[in-house]
Amino acid sequence: MSNQYIELPNGAVIIGERKQETRTVSMAFAMKVGSADEDDVISGVSHFIEHALFKGTLRRNAFEIKEPIERIGGSLNAYTGRVSTVYYAKVPDTYALEAMEILLI
């Protein structure tokens, strides 16, 4: 098993783990912002943005985000906590680059 942890200049973190025995790769894109960072005026906005990103971005619609991952037997999801918002994917290791591109763009 090999792990990778990269902190980007903007504070976001990319975490990856490859499991040789199952030939899978799990990866996460985490931002250090969550419900604890919200005041009453914007309460819930981190969770709202998490869901909104799965509805589409400037580059991909909702189908183009989920379908490529699910077509290869992978999974894609996200969660918002008190101090972070995390988007993550698990795919067969041969599709790691494709999943990373979808997760980060």
Question: What gap in Å lies between CA 105 and CA 97, rounded to an integer?
Answer: 12
Question: Catalytic one among 50, 64, 67, 101?
Answer: 50
Residue pair 84/34 in contact (Cβ under 8 Å)? The answer is yes
Question: What gap in Å lies between CA 58 and CA 8, rounded to an integer?
Answer: 22
Angle, vertex CA 85, rays to CA 102 and CA 47, nearest 5: 100
- 67 in catalytic set: no
> Which residues participate in catalysis according to the annotation?
50
